[in-house]
Structures are given as structure tokens and as C-alpha cells.
Amino acid sequence: MASFTNMMESLHQRFASATEQNQGHLPLIQHDSDYPSPCEKGQPNTHGQIQWQATPRKPLEDLTDLAKALEVEFPEPLHAYYGAVYGGNILAKFEGHEVELLQVWNEDDFVNLQQNITGHVLMKRRLKQDDTIFIGLTEKEDLLITVKLNTGEVCLEYVGKPPHHVLAANLEVFLEQLSF
């Protein structure tokens, strides 16, 4: 998991650098004083947005307890994907399409994420579809980027439908192909 943790930290650094180069500041998020994050930098601007920079989680968090509760095994990189850093969502391009990779803002967000993953997996089972875990959003409101738990493939999947298009053989390959 250490190498994938490094990959997540590097991905966030690339995103932050690209944002600074293109916009002159770190990534921005709407500030919520009731929902603070260790990755916030400085004070909110006049539009109520605050800059953020990914902060490594110490100790690293993982999804082991959730996997046990769901009686599945998650591909190893998924643990670091959601457990390596606190950060805002990453806006990137994949094969020319805009994607938003979901990330964990704070500890409360991590708890909410696990509840949402549980709901997603239970829905997939109710529909008699293979288990997937969502990792991102696309330009289309109901089109998710997911990881198939039985293969580790990164796929496109409409909400409530089985994955219909493989984007990459695994999470590492997917992340390496992102651009900013």
C-alpha cells in the first residue's frame, strides 16, 4: 500500500501544481466553518472559498472494517485511495473527458463515505450485479467511475446499472493516465 499512498500524494501534488499554474492559487473549495479539514490553507476569500492542499493522514486509514462488514475484499489500492490523504476532490481529464475524483475532506467525511459505499454495494446486490465501489464522477450526472471488486478494473457505470465500459485495468493505470 505504501507505493499507492505515494501515488495518491503525487497525484494531489500534480493537481495542486496544475491549479496554481493555471489559476494562480491552490485548489479552492467552498468554506464551511462547521466542517473543517486539516488541508485548509489560509483564510476564506471574498467569495467564501478557501484554498486547500492535500495533507497525509497519520496514521493511514483504510477500509478494512467496511470490507469485513460487507464480506468482500477490496483491491489493495482502494484503501490508500480513500485513506492516504485528506483533500478536496480532484478535477482532471481522462481521455479528454472531465472527471471528478472523490476524496476524503475530514474524518466525518470518511464516515459518510463508508455509509455511501455500503448503500451503493447493497443496491448492487439487490439488483444482482457485481459489487463496485465508486471513486469518481463524470460530466454526466448519473455516470459514475467505479472499481469492480472482483477484477480491480476501473469502469464507467450508470447509477443502478452494471459497468458498461472498462477505462483501465486497475486503479494505478487509471490514475497514471489522468491529465490536468
Query: Using one digit for the tens of pLDDT, what is the confidence trace for 15-69?
Result: 999 999 999 999 999 999 999 999 999 999 999 999 999 999 988 899 999 999 9
- What span, in angstroms and rounded, lies between the C-alpha atoms of 22 and 28? 13
**56 neighbors 105 (Cβ within 8 angstroms):** no
Cβ neighbourhood burial of 27 (10 Å; 0-12, 13-18, 19+): buried
Residue 132 main-chain phi, psi, to 5 deg: -135, 160
Give pTM, 2 decimals: 0.94
Task: State yes or no: pLDDT of 2 exceeds 70.
Answer: no
The residue among 132, 107, 141 whose CA lies nearest residue 39 is 107
* Residue bearing the bigger pLDDT, 111 or 60: 111
**171 neighbors 77 (Cβ within 8 angstroms):** yes
Looking at the structure of the chain, the number of domains it has is: 1
135-179 pLDDT, tens per residue? 999 999 999 999 999 999 999 999 999 999 999 999 999 999 999
CB-based contacts of 67, cutoff 8 Å, min separation 6: 73, 74
**pLDDT interval class at 96 (50, 70, 90):** confident
Domain that holds residue 161: 2-176
Kindly state the average pLDDT of the residues 87-100. Answer: 95
Q: How far is CA 49 from the centre of its chain?
A: 21
**66 neighbors 114 (Cβ within 8 angstroms):** yes
At residue 103, the pLDDT reads 98
**CATH number of the structural domain spanning residue 48:** 3.40.1580.20
